[in-house]
Amino acid sequence: MPFEKELELARSIALQSGELAMRLQAKGVEAEEKPDLSPVTIADQQCERLISRLLEDAFPEDGLLGEEGSAKPSRNGRRWIIDPIDGTRDFVRGAPLWSVLIGLEVDGIVETGVSYLAPHAEMFFATRGQGAFRNDTRIRVSAVTQVSQAVLCINGLNHMVNRSFAPDLLSWMSQFWSVRSMGGCMDAMMLAAGQVDFWIEDTAKAWDLAPLKVIMEEAGARFQNFDGGSSIYGGDCLAYVPALEQQAHRLVGLPDGRVAAP
């Protein structure tokens, strides 16, 4: 299987990092504010150092990109993209809605990724073309076909006031069966597992999306940016079961049937 060694190592490292984060959390952590106003803790920093060191030891030619500053040029077209604790605000408050994210990008495409929801001991992972899994059980998006039966998750609702679709957002949301907001990694993995049907993320970096994108897509979800692209560098995303594509395009003003760029 392609990237079998890489995926096995990423899963092992995510497990180690999640265990380290939980040990540090149990001792008590305080958040500091980064220049972009997002929080960071000693757990974020120590976990990223652990992940980066283990990946570099195993694959010294690969590049690194991490939320907490890991940066190494690639010598071979491969780069590991790391978010040691996706959901630091939840981590600090003790909410079990955070995850360790590790993705491997090869020539600009994320080929394999891991999202370890440590508080739940749930390991989500996927390799492109090989399907998506939760704790070794294959997962698929739901078979929902009607928006009136669909569950919508939104992350970053408080940042959407300046979006062009903001005036219409509440009425657009009203067509859904229910609306939830558990946080980026949790929302995305619930979509992949068939528990929700549509996820909106208003503000995201590459490390927030790298493994989530390949896991969701391998589970059968569609992924696109608000501008119609399909990139982890797009700064935002919509992800949804295929039957809800028309609702996605209607929200962000894309013509129905538009195909997202790779």
User: How far from 58 is each of 6, 20, 53, 145, 203, CA to CA, in Å?
Assistant: 9, 20, 9, 44, 32
- The pLDDT, as a whole number, for residue 37 is 75
- The pLDDT, as a whole number, for residue 256 is 53
**Dist. CA 32–CA 136, nearest whole Å:** 36
Banded pLDDT at 99 (limits 50, 70, 90): very high
- Provide the pairing of β-strand 132-134 with 78-86: unpaired
**Dist. CA 90–CA 94, nearest whole Å:** 6
- The pLDDT, as a whole number, for residue 169 is 93
Mean pLDDT of 28-34: 87
48: three-class secondary structure by DSSP: helix
- The pLDDT, as a whole number, for residue 36 is 80
261 pLDDT more than 70: no
Beta bridge partner(s), residue 224? 238
Burial 137-163 (b: 16+ CB within 10 A, else e): eebebbebeebeebbbbbbeeeeeeee
Residue in this structure with the two tokens 């992949």, named with its chain if needed? 192
Cβ distance 51 to 72 under 8 Å? no
160 pLDDT more than 70: yes
Tens digits of residue pLDDT in 167-205: 999 999 999 999 999 989 999 999 999 999 999 999 999
Average pLDDT, the chain: 94
User: What is the pTM for the complete model shown?
Assistant: 0.95
43 pLDDT more than 80: yes
CA torsion sign, 41 to 46 to 47 to 48? positive
259 pLDDT more than 90: no
